[in-house]
């Protein structure tokens, strides 16, 4: 049976996979572990943990959640489970994930729990645990909790064998009225300025209808900025829908419209930050880390001269730091692996391209609002705009395709996928890389290609996506190309035209791959560009030969239709790209032993 805990807690569709019953049993199982840890901590401290929270003397847990409609349901179930084990429950309400990591320590709680699915769709939810010191639980403790669950392989409702105290020994549930205010004061204190440091800045903040709807705007108002808040309502039915860090198009338009200094976008639980510069151009987590790390190197406060990044970070980030005398430590995808590397190497900065960035001197997990404060501090100190500061990093073309897969875990062992991976690597001819891995939180296979020539990278990635789709029962869902928009006068001219926003994220039209199709395209997707005239007497001719070193036709040609506004989400200004594949994959199915399905091109030095 697969492990219940993923890379970021327990996730699933709320009330179907992640049910109230499962939440209750998770709380009871976690309580058994927490009570033991609590007793050990009290014995070591010789008198218990002192705290500002009521109920001192018994084990207690702090629970926070985002705005999802399923949040109160799961919160109630977990509170009941903890109380049934004699654990006191402190309810922080709607609050960012990093706030729970910080407040768990401040309140002296034995653990923190976040009910959130971060950037996932509205229907999803998740449960994530933090230890008493604010770090995510290690795998061993998660496995121990999972082993105590009664519903795994057993009939529902079967007793779990755990104690059931009664009377005065039942745990209490205590709402916290000052949780958000404590967290806001903490973030303001990070700026370390006697006067509001950001006076004169105009900042647009997109809270994504998520957990930062109250905290993020208030922090920057107290720091002196003029704040224009978007999607700053606790509307769980719209969390992450066409907004926030995963859909910054609305923020980009708002920054241009209000002539703001910059824009800040958070995801549903506010552990991420994607920024937008004064020209409306996106600045992702890699660029934010480059700006902050270079400044910290100059100030001599970047421990070890290194930062921890995942294998998805752009190669330009490595080059940026090496030019300044620094370097990167590369980990597997996932913030928990970034944190592990930081603790092992003694680093103070690390993160992901998605904007999940850890400033370990201030918090123990990714913190979107904290990252925004630190970013603005650097800009203020250097006297630069965000667009000027972002030039410090030169970016390699990078293309990401998410493929919805029913059997995502087979991607690293499926023979056809491994053959396609070898073909994609051969197409790049050692000058780039292809990373393939199953998502830890969604039923997706993530395929990322990177190299100096964008069109070659695109062909390699799309060929591999076609094979994964065909073999694992999937359909390409989302493409990001390239990882960051280009900069310069041409980009500024495009940004000034409201009718043609810069495409950041697009959705592939459901066109069958691997064969020609005679099905007409919808009117909104048809190209308005006239077809080139063929000289009289000419013929179509044979197909172009495959690139050298690639067996058969491993890199099928494709045609990219003109970008048109999506009829499904016109208000989001997404763009639809229709790829029509001209021929099937042919050639011998050459096997390649040793490929693990996660990364190709092992010759890249930093990998």
Catalytic positions, written as ranges: 118
Tokens 């929270």 identify what position? 53
Distance between CA atoms of residues 141 and 164, nearest Å: 22
Contact 285, 356 (CB under 8 A): yes
Q: How many helices (H) and strands (E) does the chain have?
A: 15, 24
Q: Parallel, antiparallel, or unpaired for β 124-131 and 111-115?
A: antiparallel
Contact 129, 30 (CB under 8 A): yes
Q: The tokens of 222 are what?
A: 């107290």
**What residues contact 243, with CB distance under 8 A and at least 6 apart?**
206, 208, 209, 230, 231, 250, 251, 265
Distance between CA atoms of residues 176 and 90, nearest Å: 6
Neighbouring C-beta atoms of residue 520, cutoff 10 Å: 8
DSSP-assigned letter for residue 9: B
Residue-wise over 80-99: b if at least 16 C-beta within 10 A, else e?
bbbbbbbbbbbbbbbbbbbb
Contact 438, 444 (CB under 8 A): yes
DSSP-assigned letter for residue 371: H
Burial of 175 (0-12, 13-18, 19+ CB in 10 A): exposed
- Own/partner contacts of 334-338, CB < 8 Å, gap of 24 or more, are 334/7, 334/8, 334/310, 334/440, 335/8, 335/271, 335/365, 335/366, 336/7, 336/8, 336/136, 337/310, 338/308, 338/309, 338/310
Distance between CA atoms of residues 197 and 201, nearest Å: 9
User: Angle CA(249)–CA(254)–CA(257) in degrees, nearest 5?
Assistant: 130
């Amino acid at each position: 049976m697969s492990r219940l805990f993923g890379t970021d807690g327990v996730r699933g569709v709320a009330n179907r996979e992640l049910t109230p019953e499962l939440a209750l049993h998770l709380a009871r199982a976690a309580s058994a572990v927490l009570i033991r840890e609590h007793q050990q901590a009290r014995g070591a401290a010789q008198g218990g943990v002192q705290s500002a929270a009521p109920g001192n003397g018994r084990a207690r847990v702090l629970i926070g959640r985002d705005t999802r409609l399923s949040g109160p349901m799961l919160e109630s179930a977990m509170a009941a489970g903890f109380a049934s084990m004699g654990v006191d429950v402190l309810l922080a309400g709607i609050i960012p994930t990093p706030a729970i990591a910080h407040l768990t320590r401040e309140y002296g709680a034995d653990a923190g729990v976040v009910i959130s699915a971060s950037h996932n769709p509205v229907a999803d939810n998740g449960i994530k645990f933090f230890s008493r010191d604010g770090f995510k639980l290690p795998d061993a403790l998660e496995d121990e909790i999972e082993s105590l669950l009664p519903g795994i392989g057993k009939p529902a409702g079967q007793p779990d064998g755990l104690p059931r105290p009664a009377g005065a020994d039942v745990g209490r549930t205590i709402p916290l009225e000052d949780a958000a205010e404590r967290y806001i004061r903490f973030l303001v204190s990070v700026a370390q300025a006697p006067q509001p440091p950001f006076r004169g800045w105009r900042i647009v903040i997109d809270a994504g209808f998520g957990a930062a709807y109250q905290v993020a705007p208030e922090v920057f108002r107290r720091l002196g900025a003029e704040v224009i808040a978007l999607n700053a309502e606790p509307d769980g039915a719209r969390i992450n829908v066409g907004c926030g860090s995963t859909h910054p198009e609305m923020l980009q338009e708002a920054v241009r419209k209000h002539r703001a200094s910059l824009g800040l976008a958070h995801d549903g639980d506010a552990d991420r930050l994607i920024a937008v510069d004064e020209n409306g151009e996106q600045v992702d987590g890699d660029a934010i880390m480059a700006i902050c790390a270079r400044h910290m190197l100059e100030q001599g406060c970047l421990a070890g001269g290194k930062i921890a990044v995942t294998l998805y970070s752009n190669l330009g980030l490595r080059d940026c730091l090496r030019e300044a005398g620094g370097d990167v430590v590369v980990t597997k995808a996932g913030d928990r692996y970034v944190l592990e590397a930081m603790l092992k190497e003694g680093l103070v900065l690390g993160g992901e391209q998605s904007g999940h960035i850890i400033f370990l001197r201030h918090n123990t997990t990714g913190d979107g609002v904290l990252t925004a404060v630190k970013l603005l501090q650097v800009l203020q100190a250097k006297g630069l705009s965000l667009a000027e500061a972002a030039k410090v990093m030169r970016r390699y073309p990078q293309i990401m395709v998410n493929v919805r897969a029913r059997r995502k875990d087979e991607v690293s062992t499926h023979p056809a996928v491994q053959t396609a991976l070898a073909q994609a690597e051969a197409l790049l001819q050692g000058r780039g890389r292809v990373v393939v891995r199953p998502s830890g939180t969604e039923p997706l296979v993530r395929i990322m290609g990177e190299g100096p020539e964008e069109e070659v990278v695109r062909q390699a990635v799309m060929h591999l996506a076609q094979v994964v789709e065909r073999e694992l029962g999937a359909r390409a869902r989302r493409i990001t190309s390239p990882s960051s928009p280009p900069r310069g006068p041409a980009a500024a001219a495009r940004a000034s035209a409201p009718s043609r926003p810069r495409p950041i994220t697009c959705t592939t039209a459901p066109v069958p791959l691997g064969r020609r199709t005679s099905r007409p395209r919808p009117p909104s997707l048809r190209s308005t560009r006239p077809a080139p005239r063929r000289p009289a007497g000419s013929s179509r001719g044979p197909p172009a030969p495959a690139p050298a070193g690639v067996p058969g036709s491993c890199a099928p040609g494709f045609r990219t239709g003109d970008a048109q506004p999506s009829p499904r989400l016109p208000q989001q200004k997404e763009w639809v790209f229709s790829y029509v594949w001209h021929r099937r994959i042919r050639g011998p199915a050459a096997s390649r032993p040793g490929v693990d399905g996660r990364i190709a091109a092992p010759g890249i030095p930093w990998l």
